[in-house]
Amino acid sequence: MRTLELTLVQTARLQHEMAVWSGTGTPILLIHPNRTSHRVWDFMVAASSCPLPFYAPALRGHARSTWPEAGYRLEDHRDDLLALIEAQGWSELILVGQATGATLALMVATQLGSAVRGLVLAQPAIAIAAQVNQMVQQQVMSSPAFESREQARQALPFCERWSPQIVEHYLDHILRPRAEGGGWQWNFSALGVCETEAQLMRDILPLVGFAGPTLVFGGEQSVVLPPSMFERVAGHLPRAELASLLHANHRLCQDNPVGFAQKIDGFLRQIA
């Protein structure tokens, strides 16, 4: 039975809250989407048959990681992750990212090269449309606080395909009590995630590259990011396989955690 440990990791740059699932062998680093939680991976990891250990840090401005007042560029997050990898003493690893996390995984792989044994990019977000950025900015800033958990539940984006269990689990980790006046607020820095979201409009693809085995896939029913985005990313990477995740829109590892786990397990068997 795989065990979960929650820990705080101090690096030269900041503190990360990190979820660690036991295993043996090459570590798998899971990088979560912007404005979510490092615990979005729980159901996917539970469904995986992979014996390797999983590590899921919370990005800056999320959960109990450090919340700087400024500094939420993609490069800031990338350098945080590189410092975390150095602090862990990993000489090799496997990277898995979703949405913003996939963009960051590709940026990290570009820096680490052959130390990355495999790269999984789920719903990579590069050069997103301005209207997508505007939609996310409005969602974040229009609902900064909630009087009740039910009100927060009604404001959750992209959750139409989630099971009731996944919805409640997500609320457990994406909300925190308000410091004043009671009620709840998101457990992330609103200004920070908005800055990061705006960064996703940049076309960084000419600046990144990875020559190792790569799996790129998006949600079969994605309405937020177009399939052409994932096709372009896969076409840019020489050893990339392009796939699609059934029964999934944008939050892939919550829309279809079992299918997501099967994608990762199959890819790891191939590169083994």
CATH code of the domain in which 85 resides = 3.40.50.1820
Digit-coded pLDDT (tens) for 76-125: 999 999 999 999 999 999 999 999 999 999 999 999 999 999 999 999 99
The answer, yes or no, to whether residue 181 has pLDDT greater than 80, is no
- Position 192 in a domain: no
Flag the least confident range among 7-21, 48-62, 179-193: 179-193
The answer, yes or no, to whether residue 180 has pLDDT greater than 90, is no
- Position 247 in a domain: yes
Neighbouring residues of 267: CB distance < 8 A, sequence distance ≥ 6: 118, 120, 213, 215, 241
- Position 140 in a domain: no
Predicted local confidence at residue 9, as pLDDT: 98
- Position 133 in a domain: no
- Position 81 in a domain: yes
- Position 63 in a domain: yes
Helical packing angle, 190-199 and 130-142, nearest 10°: 180
- Position 185 in a domain: no
- Position 191 in a domain: no
- Band (pLDDT 50/70/90 cuts) for residue 244 is very high
Asked if residue 22 lies in contact with residue 53, where contact means CB atoms within 8 angstroms, the answer is: yes
Q: Count of domains in the chain?
A: 1
Q: Residue 64 has what DSSP assignment?
A: T
Record the tokens describing residue 156, joined without a space.
């959750």
Global pTM reads 0.98
The answer, yes or no, to whether residue 1 has pLDDT greater than 80, is no
Residue 81: domain span: 4-126+200-271
